[in-house]
Amino acid sequence: MDEQVRDNPAMSRFEMPLTGGTVAAAYYKIEDGRVHLLHTEVPQEFSGQGKGSTLARGVFEILRARGQRAVATCPFMAGYASRHPEYAAMLDG
């Protein structure tokens, strides 16, 4: 299974392909030069398998590589960052 997270700017979301042609996604908007992480979706059939955490790690790694700051409006992304200090340091607001 491909768990490579990629940015899809046309849909304003980071995506991680899952089996069966489905994707886990983290939606965002860019405002004032920061990436506002708005909402994370993982299909229910993948619940409890760590897919959301894999997606979150991929999103934060992409943002770190780009030198971008983030605002985690999404409770899942905020919670993930709070448990990982290396990503919490990237958050504003």
CATH of the domain at 24: 3.40.630.30
Specify if 93 maps to a domain.
Answer: no
Q: Which residues contact 19 (CB under 8 A, 6 or more apart)?
A: 1
Q: pLDDT category, 2, cuts 50, 70, 90?
A: very low
At 63, which helix (H) or strand (E)?
helix 51-66
pLDDT value at 38 more than 70:
yes
Beta-strand (E) ranges in the chain? 6-8, 13-17, 23-31, 34-41, 70-72
Report the number of distinct structural domains present in the chain. Answer: 1
Token couple for 23? 């994707």
pLDDT tens by residue, 53-92? 999 999 999 999 999 999 999 999 999 999 999 999 999 8
Specify if 58 maps to a domain.
Answer: yes
Residue 13 CA: distances (Å) to CA of 32, 76, 83: 17, 15, 22
Domain extent for 65: 6-88
Specify if 1 maps to a domain.
Answer: no
pTM across the whole model: 0.93
